[in-house]
């Protein structure tokens, strides 16, 4: 407990600095509202429901896109790792897709789906697909074949080998891919909602900024950052638990 | 037997070393170790795993500070690493981004030799370890045995008085290990450096060393120091001589006793 | 009969050699992309989908050609690349020294680590409106946004790289007579290079992602800005062409980085020929 406090103390120091610098007028308040004012605006948005409502919309879309990416990405990566023919066909497509900055797909998604939910979900799906695919592919490829041979000689059947040997052995790489995908989900959620601005946390940030409600805008931004941070922390804890057998 | 000028004895007196484990507990790795290694002699350190023999070597090397006691050479008290105490590690520790030649030149350059003289010196040591022709290869292109030769050449080229070797042949296959042992002996007979050699292979120690110290399990102490001396004449059949095998058996029993005692202590 | 022998016995077409396995593999590899193009051409040809959703392939190709010939692509691409690379370079200039310092200095490590662990996984793009407020809507704010988004990745990689340097390498250098600064520049830095470069290879695509998003929000002369403009004018041909153009820019950046890695790490286990 104390260890965590000491570890994150610098953030508290920065927060104190923020408050001091703005209260003392070193930085103009229009540019950087004091932390206390931001906090008041934050509480206000909680009370009037704007923050929870938009957060829920963002979360649902992000989760849907991420979930779809996990399912499809896993199948894609596993297929490429286990079937050379499939790898020969799908590999170049994945490689071609990789360097494309996924935010470039926002206008495309707007053309296909207009301004609704589906577009943002598809965007997040496309953006999270690659990390999951690569993580699965590398994970399964990296499984030491003597593990598979041991299982075979102990009498395991192909499906059992896939689920009971390959999956746990590939788990570290898989989880790394998922962690990256989660970060991408947040990134594309914010990007799509800032650009296709009709609801969600990104929209909230943008519209508050347009209306000059800067303390509330800062509060919304901090909320998004905090959500992304805790999501990553949660994922790290989950990974540590699932991988506790590792050295 | 006259000893050439560039070799140095080591005097270790009442050396103790502790460190903090990951859990925070203080671990006593070495407990009141005293040892004298005469200049020009080949000394082996044997003991069960974790007994601190590598730690002792690292203390002599100056990489670890001591809690109490002292390590002294002709140059004075050991306070840090230095070219007069060269090191060879089990995993070679070659600079992977440098070629063999560049690795060997590294220590030479630090000693102040440059240019043509440095290159000639590097070449002579590369030839000495039988790596002629591989001067421009990267470590990743060499086998384990070749990498270890390169590491040896690099250390020797810096002209140390003392050679500290930490299970240098442990990562090599048995055949390469035998060949390297013979080559190391040949080099030692030629250069007569003081050598401290850590190993867990009793036969290797008996083959190579003048004297062997058997260490206890943690906390490491020196239990006994035995004279060997089979390294004086280059006879490949020495491994089969009765005196040799008897000594190996005798020392192995000593090490075995230390292992058992450690196990007993754990169970208790 | 062994497999190899069986292969050798198979009769080929009269007079023709059987196509070797490499040809089949090459054909398979091309089939994915070729397949997509063929499907696209067919869809456009037979009007299976509204041309607004999927404009005909020839129209997009024509737009691409036009952009290249008029220099529009070159100008926009250069603009986007300039800002993305500037932000990336700044992130490296700040991030690599900071990351190294974290692993070597306790105080700096304690202070900066929590900041990095917050900045690294979070959508720093959310700060865009703040940067627009502070720096306006031109190059500066976009570059600052890109730097801010990528610096944490670089710091983390530099920290991990220097921390991961095998201590026996440092000890060897010290015992060969190297002093502190020499050990740092001659041993630690080269040894940390592989991991630092890996971090840079992750940060560069991220820089492009953020730059494109920033352009879409702030406008300007980059590829992102042009694409969003095309969308606003319901110019789906322009959008499709824009995607291909950005993909090309991305491929150049990623490929360049990979080539740089190859050159700098010629000695590495992965790249050295055995």
Q: What is the span of the domain harbouring residue A236?
A: 35-45+65-242
Cα–Cα dist A187/A199, whole Å: 16
Q: Which sign, positive or negative, has the C-alpha torsion A111, A117, A121, A127?
A: positive
Domain borders along chain C are 18-54, 55-272
Domain for residue A129, yes or no?
yes
pLDDT surpassing 60 at residue B4: no
Are C176 and B141 inside 8 Å of each other by CB? no
Within a domain: residue A53?
no
**Looking at residue C271, what is its pLDDT?**
60
Q: Count of H helices and E strands in chain A?
A: 11, 0
Q: Is the pTM of this model over 0.90?
A: no
pLDDT of residue B259: 85
pLDDT by residue (tens digit) across C258-273?
A: 999 999 998 887 664 4
Rg (CA), chain A: 22
Q: Which of A76-85, A113-122, A146-155, B250-259 has the lowest mean pLDDT?
A: A146-155
Q: Which residues in chain B have their CB less than 8 angstroms from residue C166's CB?
A: 91, 93
Q: Is C15 left (phi over 0), alpha (psi -120 to 50) or beta?
A: left
**What's the pLDDT band for C148 if we cut at 50, 70, 90?**
very high
pLDDT category at C49 given cuts 50, 70, 90 is: confident
Q: Would you state the pLDDT for residue B162?
A: 93
Mean pLDDT of C229-246: 93
- Mean per-residue pLDDT, C75-101: 96
Q: What is the pLDDT of residues B44-65, one digit of tens each?
A: 999 888 888 999 999 999 888 8
Q: CATH code at A233?
A: 1.10.3720.10
Average pLDDT over residues A167-195: 93
Lowest-pLDDT range, A10-19, A120-129, A205-214, C43-52?
C43-52
Residues B242-265, mean pLDDT to the nearest whole number? 88
pLDDT of residue C1: 38
Strands B68-73 and B211-215: unpaired
- Identify the pLDDT of residue C20: 65
What percent of chain A clears pLDDT 70, i.e. is strictly above it?
A: 100
Residue-level pLDDT at C19: 58
Chain B interface, Cβ < 8 Å to C: 58, 61-63, 80-83, 85-87, 89, 91, 93, 95-98, 106-107, 110-111, 138-141, 151, 154-155, 158
Region B245-251 average pLDDT: 94
User: Which of C165, C170, C172 to mutate: most B Cβ within 10 Å?
Assistant: C172
Separation between Cα atoms, residue A44 and residue C9, nearest integer Å: 82
Interface contact flag, A89 C32, Cβ < 8 Å:
yes
Token representation of residue C168? 């026996």
Tokens of B206: 């008996």
> Shortest CB distance from B85 goes to which of C175, C265, C273?
C175
The answer to whether domain C55-272 has CATH 1.10.10.10 is no
Give the per-residue pLDDT at A122. 96
Q: Please judge whether C268 and B85 are an interchain contact, meaning their C-beta atoms are less than 8 angstroms apart.
A: no
Predicted local confidence at residue C268, as pLDDT: 85
Contact C/B (≥3 CB pairs under 8 Å): yes
Q: Are B175 and B5 in contact (CB under 8 A)?
A: no
Instruction: Give the sheet arrangement for strand B42-46, strand by strand.
Output: B85-88, B162-166, B194-198, B42-46, B211-215, B222-227
Averaged confidence pLDDT in chain A: 91
Per 3-state DSSP, chain A is made up of helix, strand and coil in percentages (nearest 5) of 85, 0, 15
Q: Which of A201-205, B15-19, B93-97 is modeled with the greatest confidence?
A: A201-205
Question: Does the CB of C107 have a partner CB in chain B at under 8 Å?
Answer: no
Rounded average pLDDT over A204-208: 94
pLDDT in tens, B161-218: 999 999 999 989 999 999 999 999 999 998 889 999 999 899 999 999 999 999 998 8
Please give, rounded to a whole number of angstroms, the shortest distance from the CA of B177 to a CA of chain C.
21
Q: Do C176 and B93 touch (CB under 8 A)?
A: no
Q: Which residues contact A104 (CB under 8 A, 6 or more apart)?
A: C212, C223, C224, C227, C242, C243, C246, C247
Q: Is pLDDT at C232 greater than 80 in this prediction? A: yes
Choose the weakest-confidence range: A79-93, B231-245, C5-19, C82-96. Answer: C5-19
Q: Do C123 and A104 touch (CB under 8 A)?
A: no
A13 in a structural domain: no
What integer is the mean pLDDT of B215-223?
88
B107 neighbourhood in chain C, CB within 8 Å: 176-177
Q: Which residues contact A25 (CB under 8 A, 6 or more apart)?
A: none
* Residue C227: closest C-alpha in chain A: A107
Whether residue A71 lies inside any domain: the answer is: yes
Q: Do A102 and C53 touch (CB under 8 A)?
A: no
Domain count, chain A: 1
Q: Do C166 and B62 touch (CB under 8 A)?
A: no
Q: What share of chain C is helix, strand, coil (3-state, %, to 5)?
A: 80, 0, 20
Any chains having at least 3 CB pairs less than 8 A from chain A are C
**Do C53 and A189 lie within an 8 Å CB cutoff?**
no
Confidence of residue C208 (pLDDT cuts 50, 70, 90): very high
The CA distance from B134 to B99, in Å, is 9
DSSP letter, residue C125: G
């Amino acid at each position: 407990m104390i260890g965590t406090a000491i570890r994150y103390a610098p953030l508290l120091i920065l927060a104190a600095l923020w408050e001091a610098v703005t209260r003392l007028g070193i930085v103009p308040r229009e540019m950087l509202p004091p932390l206390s004012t931001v906090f008041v605006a934050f509480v206000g948005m909680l009370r009037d429901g704007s923050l929870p409502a938009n957060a829920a919309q963002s979360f649902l879309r992000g989760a849907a896109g991420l979930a779809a990416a996990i399912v499809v990405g896993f199948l894609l990566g596993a297929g490429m790792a286990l079937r050379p023919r499939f790898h020969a066909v799908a590999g170049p497509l994945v490689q071609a897709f990789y360097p494309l900055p996924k935010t470039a797909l926002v206008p495309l998604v707007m053309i296909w789906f207009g301004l609704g939910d589906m577009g943002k979900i598809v965007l997040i799906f496309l953006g999270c697909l690659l990390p999951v695919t690569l993580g699965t592919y590398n994970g399964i490829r990296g499984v030491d074949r003597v593990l598979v041979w041991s299982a075979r000689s102990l009498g395991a059947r192909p499906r059992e080998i896939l689920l009971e040997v390959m999956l746990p052995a590939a788990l570290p790489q898989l989880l790394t891919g998922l962690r990256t995908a989660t970060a991408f989900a947040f990134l594309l959620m914010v990007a799509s909602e800032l650009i296709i601005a009709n609801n969600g946390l990104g929209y909230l940030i943008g519209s508050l900024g347009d209306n000059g409600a800067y303390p509330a805008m800062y509060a919304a931004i901090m909320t998004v950052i905090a959500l992304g941070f805790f999501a990553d922390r949660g994922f790290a804890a989950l990974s540590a638990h699932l991988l506790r057998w590792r050295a | 037997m006259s000893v050439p000028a560039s070799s140095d004895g080591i005097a270790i007196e009442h050396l103790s070393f502790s460190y903090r484990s990951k859990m925070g507990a203080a671990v006593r790795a070495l407990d009141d170790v005293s040892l004298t290694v005469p200049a020009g002699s080949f000394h082996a350190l044997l003991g069960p795993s974790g007994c601190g023999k590598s730690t002792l070597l690292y203390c002599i090397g100056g990489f670890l500070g001591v809690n109490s006691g002292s390590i002294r050479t002709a140059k004075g008290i050991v306070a840090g690493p230095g070219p007069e105490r060269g090191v060879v590690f089990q995993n070679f520790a070659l600079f992977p981004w440098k070629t063999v030649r560049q690795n060997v030149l590294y220590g030479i350059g630090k000693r102040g030799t440059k240019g043509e003289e440095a290159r000639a010196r590097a070449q002579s040591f590369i030839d000495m370890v039988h790596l002629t022709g591989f001067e421009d290869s990267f470590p990743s292109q060499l086998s384990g045995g070749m990498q270890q030769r390169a590491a040896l050449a690099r250390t020797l080229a810096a002209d140390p008085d003392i050679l500290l070797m930490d299970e240098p042949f442990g990562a090599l296959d048995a055949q390469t290990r035998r060949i390297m042992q013979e080559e190391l002996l040949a080099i030692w007979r030629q250069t007569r450096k003081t050598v401290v050699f850590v190993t867990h292979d009793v036969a290797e120690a008996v083959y190579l060393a003048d004297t062997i110290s058997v260490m206890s399990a943690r906390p490491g102490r020196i239990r006994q120091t035995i004279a060997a001396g089979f390294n004086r004449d280059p006879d490949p059949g020495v491994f089969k001589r009765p005196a040799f095998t008897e000594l190996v058996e005798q020392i192995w029993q000593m090490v075995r006793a230390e292992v058992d005692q450690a196990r007993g202590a754990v169970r208790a | 009969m062994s497999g190899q022998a069986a292969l050798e016995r198979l009769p080929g077409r009269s007079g023709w050699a059987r196509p070797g396995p490499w040809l089949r593999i090459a054909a398979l590899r091309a089939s994915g992309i070729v397949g997509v193009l063929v499907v696209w051409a067919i869809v456009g040809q037979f009007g299976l989908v509204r041309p607004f959703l999927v404009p005909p392939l020839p129209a997009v190709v024509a737009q691409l050609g036009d952009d290249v010939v008029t220099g529009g692509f070159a100008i926009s691409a250069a603009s986007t690349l300039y800002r993305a690379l500037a932000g990336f370079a700044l992130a490296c200039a700040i991030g690599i020294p900071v990351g190294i310092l974290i692993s070597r200095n306790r105080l700096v490590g304690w202070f900066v680590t929590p900041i990095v662990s917050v900045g690294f996984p979070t959508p720093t793009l959310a700060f865009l409106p703040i940067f627009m407020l502070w720096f306006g809507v031109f190059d500066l704010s976009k570059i600052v946004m890109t730097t801010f988004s990528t610096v944490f990745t670089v710091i983390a990689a530099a920290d991990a790289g220097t921390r991961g340097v095998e201590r026996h390498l440092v000890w060897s250098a010290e015992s060969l007579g190297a002093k502190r600064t020499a050990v740092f520049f001659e041993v630690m830095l080269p040894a940390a290079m592989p991991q630092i470069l890996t971090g840079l290879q992750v940060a560069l695509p991220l820089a492009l992602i953020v730059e494109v998003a920033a352009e879409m929000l702030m406008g300007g002369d980059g590829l992102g800005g042009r694409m969003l403009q095309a969308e606003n004018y319901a110019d789906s041909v322009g959008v499709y062409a824009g995607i291909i153009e950005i993909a090309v820019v991305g491929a150049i950046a990623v490929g360049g980085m990979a080539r740089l890695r190859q050159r700098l790490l010629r000695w590495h286990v992965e790249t050295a020929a055995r």
